A and B are shown apart, each in its own frame.
Chain A
Amino acid sequence: MARVFWCILIRDLTLAMRRRTDVLTTLFFFVIVVSLFPLGVGTERKILEILGPGVVWVAALLASMLALERLFAADYEDGTLEQMLLTAQPLSLLVLAKISAHWILTGLPLVLIAPLVGMQYHLTGTAIWVMMLALLLGTPILSLIGAIGAALTLGLRGGGILLSLLILPLYIPVLVYGAGAVEVSRIDLMDVQPYLMLLGAFFLIALILAPLASSAALRISLE
């Protein structure tokens, strides 16, 4: 089991390393969106402090959404996905490995760059730490839920737009508690705990259910 998981994980990471630009585009999209906001709403420190958490989370949502389209697309086009469906391995395990690789490539960089964008919004040191923690718990949920949508819209014309239509409403809970955690951390750090625990609970539930739903969706899409 573990051998197969690592095999797919390393395979996807290797593939990404041989096509590096794909990884960087997501990251730069995130940075650009976050940097554009102050130009639109004004650069006043007070406004930015209030908007910061929400903006960062909305940008993270959009960035992970953009990357999702390619989660299964390449494997679908060259037939390797079809072969994965025909192996004697549980498909949800393979899907989980692919989602993990996808998160390492598109979610983790967002977590790591968070301090930088946090400073753009004058967030305090603690708020930045909370934001990183919330992103660390929240971005995997985005990848997990998004994988279902990516599997459903596989190979469709205009799949990217459709994908955002299907998946963005489902991201609401992550957005509410992810941004909420950073928000309350500015008042009292002790209030942060229930938010993070909720995100953690969502993550565990998504970790169990999303690979099952995604593999069911893949079997439908590859019929």
Chain B
Amino acid sequence: MRPEAATLMLEVVGLECRRGDRRLFSGLGLTLEAGTLLHVRGRNGSGKTTLLRTLCGLFAPDAGEVRWRGESIRDLGDEYRRDLLYFGHLNGIKGELTGIENLAIAATLDGDRVATADIWTALERIGLAGFEDLPTRMLSQGQKKRVALARLMLSRAKLWVLDEPFTALDVDAVSLLQGLIAGHVAGGGLTVLTTHQEVPLTSGQVARLDLGS
């Protein structure tokens, strides 16, 4: 393990989040080290999505803070977002643009210079060969999701935050995604995800967090 990778760590300290006037959770604390996957579980409305959005810095907690490499993510700002990849309920791809265009824009915004050939390869690997230059609105729900997931292959982010990544995917795509996550974690990355399915992970540590038990 490289020395800089050892400092990769996500910490949550005394986190309290409210949605509207309702308290979702309070006093939440956890530490996630490099090469770990955190599986967040809980009923609907228990605050899984809010927790994930708080980890990304989209949602400001009512108390407590999230730390990355020992520093508060509020202070890190753009520096933290460089290490972060968030995958939410919405795919975040434009229906009028092709898969290639979508991924190229996403890469530019991440500050990466990705060769077009790599994007073609990524789309092919995720099972979209032949669909690369169609406007994504012509694709099926699952195919759109695959386009979005192709970002995982192109991104160099250390921390993946995935909200229900397995829904609307067929068996092949699920196993492909599992492979991607396993590879990311094995390579010293961190992953936080929510899913109703069990995630069999062959390598690396799997931590579990139950919300609103």
Contact = CB atoms under 8 A, between A and B. Distances in A.
Interface of A: 3-4, 7-8, 11, 14-15, 18-19, 75, 77-80, 82-90, 94, 219, 222-223
A83 B109 contact: yes
B10 to A, nearest CB: 15
Contacts of A219: 58
A86 B56 contact: yes
Contacts of A85: 58
A73 B9 CA distance: 36
A90 B82 CA distance: 11
A189 B79 CA distance: 53
B93 A7 contact: no
Given A86-B56, A88-B81, A223-B59, A4 B90 contact: no
B141 to A, nearest CB: 13
Given A79-B88, A83-B86, A86-B81, 9 more contacts: A4-B111, A11-B94, A15-B97, A82-B58, A82-B88, A86-B57, A86-B86, A89-B78, A223-B60
Contact of A82 (B82, B90, B96): B90
Nearest to B79: A88
A80 B94 contact: yes
A78 B86 contact: no
Given A88-B82, A223-B58, A4 B96 contact: no
Contact of A78 (B81, B84, B93, B135): B93
Contact of A19 (B96, B101, B108): B96
A20 to B, nearest CB: 11
Interface residues of B, number: 30
Given A4-B108, A4-B109, A89-B109, A79 B90 contact: yes
A74 B58 CA distance: 19
A15 B94 contact: yes
Nearest to A19: B96
A4 B96 CA distance: 20
Q: Which 3 A-B pairs have the closest CB atoms?
A: A79-B90, A88-B82, A79-B92
B192 to A, nearest CB: 14
B95 interface: yes
Contacts of A80: 92-94
B78 A90 contact: yes
B60 A89 contact: no
A222 to B, nearest CB: 6
A123 to B, nearest CB: 39
Nearest to B80: A88
A152 B50 CA distance: 21
A64 to B, nearest CB: 23
A96 to B, nearest CB: 14
B198 to A, nearest CB: 26
A59 B111 CA distance: 41
Contacts of B132: none
Interface in B54-89: 56-60, 78-79, 81-82, 84, 86, 88-89
27 contacts: A3-B108, A4-B108, A8-B109, A11-B94, A11-B97, A18-B96, A19-B96, A75-B94, A78-B94, A79-B91, A79-B93, A80-B92, A80-B94, A82-B58, A82-B88, A82-B90, A83-B106, A84-B109, A86-B56, A86-B81, A86-B84, A86-B86, A88-B78, A88-B82, A88-B110, A90-B78, A219-B58
